Amino acid sequence: MYLPKYIFLSMIQLNRRQFLQQSSAVASLLPFASMPATISSFNAPKKITIAEVSTNFEREPLATPYGFKGGYITDVWQAVARLQSSSGKHGIGLGTQSVLWCDAEVFLQHSENGGNALMYAMTEKAVQLAKGQSFTTPIELQENILDEVHAYGKKVTGKDDLRETFALNALVAVDNAAWLLYAYENGINDFDTLIPEEYRPALSHHHDKVVSVPSFSFATPVSQMKELVDDGYFFLKIKLGHPGTQREMLDKDKAKITEIHETIGHGETPYTADGKIPYYFDMNGRYEEKDYLLEVLDHAKKIGAFDQIVVVEEPFPEESEATVGDVGVRVAADESAHTEEDVITRIQMGYNAIALKPIAKTLSMTLKMAKVAHEQGIPCLCADLTVNPILVDWNKNVAARLGDWEEFPGMGMMENNGHQNYRDWQEMMSYHPYSDADWVKAEDGVFKLGEDYYEKSGGIFQMSDHYQALFDSKKSDS
């Protein structure tokens, strides 16, 4: 079923509050069953007023250039935002910037540092907009400032069609700071209680395992993939969409799939029903035609790799209207799903998985997207943005609570590639309040979570001395 265009247009014209109010009616148009759940909530949250704000950032170099979307990044800016309420409490939130992932045109039109500076300027704009605002939940705060941050981004980049994900990525540090401030003001110290009641059914699980999905750029030697498989990793996210013309890209992609399948395709794992290594291919919107995807999938069939493909992510450019319900594999939406409205659109186009990014599109927006996907019976996983160790646990808190996939019963799923790519990962790990905890590192490709993990919520409520120190030596903006 594919909804007529006029229905989509009317949905897009709704503001976000209207959408949430009317989503139940829209859901009745969809061929999926709703799965309600009820979990009790704490007392009504306080009204919080932001009195002081500040930002900072650190540059973290990568070990080697990381290639995707036809480009390469060499270091990653870690944005940090501090929000202090009128009561004197404060929250410090982290964000990892990725200009190339958010909007490749902005990345290509500027130097790497220039593009990062533009996004950081949007983070600073966001905290200034937040100053003086009163809110009950961080979702309300984000709804109040998102459109203006996006408009500011269009102005500073000179790009009228700047993707909304660019603004969301700039807001992650601010949104996380708001969630922590919300928690401190309301006496919340666990992630389950942090989630507002209407979003809890989508995050109602407590998995004792979360699959750690390593990610490989199109430039990564297959030998490195084999090393991780030998170390127990078993679900691999592989970037396709090589640089070059569409023909050059397809030929290189097919050759890469062949090399991968010949090298690790016969590996074994106890975590899948057939014992084989599953594949996760991410084209990052590089395929301009549906026929190109079908050509690559036909190639996978010829070499015997097709049955091991669990999911293909974001094959087409965002503006493509190609449906994917007939391609024969699960297709996930990632950067084309900026908002909860986009999730509905993609589901109607045949996408049957959603890659959530609380660490790239904010926790506030992720909760809305997860709610819509859950109501339509669409499975989700958490994708990475090569984030720092503390943000890995923000991501893990969500992944551990999402429903499982039929291919991986009883487990959550989360891409996790920072340990592969940051030059100084071990030093960055020392900034984590629980850097020595067993659940911080994956074992045999799986994060093993027990009572200690859920009691501590991955450590996200514990202040990091390192990031606190970034503000101790400077005066907060007044």
State how far the Cα of 66 lies from the Cα of 76, in Å rounded to an integer. 10
Give the CATH architecture of domain 199-465: Alpha-Beta Barrel (3.20)
* Ranges of residues in the chain whose predicted pLDDT is under 70: 1-42, 473-478
Question: How confident is the model at residue 473, as a pLDDT?
Answer: 65
Contact between 175 and 87 (Cβ < 8 Å)? no
According to CATH, the topology of domain 48-195+468-472 is Enolase-like; domain 1 (3.30.390)
- pTM for this one? 0.88
Is it true that 48-195+468-472 and 199-465 share their CATH fold? no
Which residues, in sequence order, are bridge partners of residue 313? 282, 332
State how far the Cα of 231 lies from the Cα of 358, in Å rounded to an integer. 28
- Centre a 10 Å sphere on the Cβ of residue 49 and count the other Cβ atoms it contains: 13
Question: Alpha carbon of 357 to those of 87, 298, 339: distances in Å?
Answer: 31, 30, 11
β-pairing verdict for 209-213 and 215-216: unpaired
- Rounded to 5 degrees, what are φ and ψ at 239? -75, 125
Q: Reduced to 3 states, what is the DSSP secondary structure of residue 44?
A: coil
Q: Reduced to 3 states, what is the DSSP secondary structure of residue 329?
A: coil
State how far the Cα of 5 lies from the Cα of 178, in Å rounded to an integer. 37
Question: How confident is the model at residue 42, as a pLDDT?
Answer: 58
Question: How confident is the model at residue 335, as a pLDDT?
Answer: 86
DSSP H or E stretch at residue 121: helix 112-130
* Residue extents of the structural domains in the chain: 48-195+468-472, 199-465
- Tokens standing for 34? 């709703």
Amino acid at 424: D
- Residue tagged 């959550």 (tokens): 412
Question: How confident is the model at residue 325, as a pLDDT?
Answer: 95
Q: Reduced to 3 states, what is the DSSP secondary structure of residue 309?
A: strand
State how far the Cα of 414 lies from the Cα of 392, in Å rounded to an integer. 9
Percentages helix, strand, coil for the chain (3-state, rounded to 5) are: 45, 20, 35
- Residue 88, classified by CB atoms within 10 Å of its CB into exposed (0-12), middle (13-18) or buried (19+), is exposed
Span 87-130, pLDDT tens digits: 999 999 999 999 999 999 999 999 999 999 999 999 999 999 99
State how far the Cα of 240 lies from the Cα of 250, in Å rounded to an integer. 9
Contact between 45 and 136 (Cβ < 8 Å)? yes
Question: Alpha carbon of 224 to those of 118, 138, 270, 403: distances in Å?
Answer: 34, 41, 21, 31
- Residue tagged 């750690």 (tokens): 212
